[in-house]
């Protein structure tokens, strides 16, 4: 098993769980609320801000002290799908493998402190996977249509970057092919962009600035522009106080994401007119641009970037997940603190190192199969070129100076007479 790949996958998965567990206790608080209640969250020991509420007001869940959420659990589920198939994935695997993982595979749910199917813990946009594929039996490629557009697919898509390590374009393409069974519009685009960032982070010698450049080169529409706006803000905020950076980032993301600090879905929001969470070529999720921004402003520092991200408020756990995944893959297992590793494993009844190593073995199989396929294709192309120069149709210029293909009227059409078309 390649040592460098193994260490980077370990750190990537650790970064996901760490960012998730650090961010979960303060999720949906504003940055100002976090400062007022906690000062700054830097430890897995932080107490959930809802923990003193009656159980029914917190959905009978617990958080804090290292407990992870659905972000980490769905990442592990995706890793299991790769282990089952040992190949690249598409929307049909969302309809099959992911449905089986969330609806028919009981596992320990740390927030619920019991074994259950993951769907019992998921938010409605992730339950949508079951609704669309098993219940509605939709075309798998259309699974994401009609869903609430959010970061739900992006938050667990990091494993796609691993099986396409060092090839951001391939990671982007596979993430889009797979996650279109769950999300659409800028929610789908974010999944592709995040997978590309993770794949780029595996390139030896790359830096965070180059990772962001590669992501922007692949991203489309509002997602690209949101990342660009945050990157521009980050370039001006190096060395600034955290509160100033957060204010600048929130101002930069506002044109692409209208929700602001109003992220709680309460009775008062029923029937309220809003453009939030709707498909839009101009929109973007917040979590990925912000994660990249905090990584940039901190020069790619693993711990500082995660902590700055989860203290910025709003969807704190997913911001932490994305920063942790990218920077864990970038730096490797030297970033793992043993005390944190033990806390995360113990609090969640997991063995993250073993899970990462199993996935590294799977990813290695897929990467080596890709290499063999590329080599076979190159040999075929070499043989094709050895047959002689490729014959190209000749061309003439039209009277308007445009290239037009010359057609010999005496040459029979390759189509049978009844299939010829005048179009």
Q: With CA atoms as reference, report the closest residue to 17 among 407, 372, 293, 337.
A: 337
Q: Which residues contact 186 (CB under 8 A, 6 or more apart)?
A: 149, 221, 222, 223, 279, 280, 281, 283, 284, 285
Does residue 381 form part of some domain? no
Note whether residue 390 is domain-resident. Answer: no
- % of the chain at pLDDT higher than 70: 91
Is residue 368 scored above 80 in pLDDT? Answer: yes
Residue 384 inside a domain? The answer is: no
Q: What is the arithmetic mean of pLDDT over 151-166?
A: 99
pLDDT score for 2: 66
Q: Which distant-in-sequence residues (6+ apart) come within 8 Å of 342 by Cβ?
A: none
What would the mean pLDDT of 268-295 be, rounded to a whole number? 95
Q: Point out which residues pair with 116 in neighbouring strands.
A: 107
Does residue 311 carry a pLDDT above 70? Answer: yes
Q: What is the pLDDT of residues 104-128, one digit of tens each?
A: 999 999 999 999 999 999 999 999 9
Q: Is residue 64 part of a domain?
A: yes
Instruction: Answer whether residue 10 is part of any domain.
Output: yes
Domain span at residue 143 reads 3-264+272-374
394 in a domain, yes or no? no
- Asked whether residue 383 is assigned to any structural domain, the reply reads no
pTM for the full predicted model: 0.91
Number of domains in the chain: 1
pLDDT in tens, 384-413: 999 866 555 555 555 454 544 444 444 444
Residue 403 domain-assigned?
A: no
Q: Give the pLDDT confidence score for residue 418 in this predicted structure.
A: 43
Give me the CATH number covering residue 160.
1.10.4080.10
Cα separation of 95 and 181, whole Å? Answer: 7
Q: Is 275 helix (H, G, I), strand (E, B) or coil?
A: coil
């Amino acid at each position: 098993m390649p040592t460098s790949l193994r260490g980077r996958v370990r750190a990537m998965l650790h970064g996901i769980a760490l960012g998730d567990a650090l961010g979960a206790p303060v999720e949906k608080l504003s940055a100002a609320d976090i400062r007022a209640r906690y000062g700054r969250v830097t430890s897995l020991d932080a107490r959930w801000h809802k923990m003193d509420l009656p159980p029914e007001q917190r959905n009978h869940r617990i958080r804090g002290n290292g407990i992870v959420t659905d972000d980490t659990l769905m990442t592990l589920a995706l890793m299991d799908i790769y282990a089952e198939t040992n190949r690249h994935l598409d929307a049909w695997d969302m309809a099959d493998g992911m449905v089986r993982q969330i609806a028919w595979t009981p596992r320990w749910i740390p927030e619920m402190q019991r074994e259950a199917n993951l769907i019992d813990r998921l938010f409605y946009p992730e339950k949508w996977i079951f609704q669309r594929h098993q219940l509605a039996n939709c075309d798998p490629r259309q699974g994401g249509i009609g869903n609430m557009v959010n970061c739900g697919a992006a938050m667990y898509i990091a494993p796609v970057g691993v099986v396409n390590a060092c090839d951001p374009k391939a990671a982007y393409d596979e993430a889009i092919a797979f996650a279109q069974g769950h999300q659409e519009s800028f929610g789908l685009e974010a999944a592709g962009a995040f997978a590309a960032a993770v794949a780029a982070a595996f390139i030896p010698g790359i830096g965070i600035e180059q990772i962001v450049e590669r992501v922007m080169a692949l991203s489309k529409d509002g997602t690209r522009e949101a990342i660009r706006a945050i990157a521009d803000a980050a370039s001006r905020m190096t060395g600034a106080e955290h509160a100033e950076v957060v204010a600048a980032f929130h101002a930069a993301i506002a044109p692409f994401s209208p929700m602001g600090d109003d992220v709680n879905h309460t009775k008062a929001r029923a029937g309220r007119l809003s453009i939030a969470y709707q498909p839009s070529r101009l929109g973007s999720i917040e979590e990925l641009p912000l994660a990249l921004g905090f990584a940039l402003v901190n020069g790619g520092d693993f711990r500082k970037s995660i902590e700055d991200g989860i203290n910025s408020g709003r969807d704190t756990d997913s911001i932490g997940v994305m920063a942790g995944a990218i920077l864990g893959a970038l730096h490797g297992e030297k970033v793992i603190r043993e005390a944190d590793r033990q806390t995360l494993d113990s609090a969640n009844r997991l063995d993250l190192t073993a899970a990462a190593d199993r996935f590294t073995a799977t990813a290695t199989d897929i990467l080596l199969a890709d290499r063999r396929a590329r080599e076979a294709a190159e040999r075929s192309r070499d043989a094709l070129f050895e047959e002689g120069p490729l014959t190209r149709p000749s061309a003439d210029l039209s009277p308007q100076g445009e290239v037009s293909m010359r057609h010999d009227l005496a040459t029979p059409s390759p189509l049978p007479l009844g299939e010829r078309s005048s179009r």
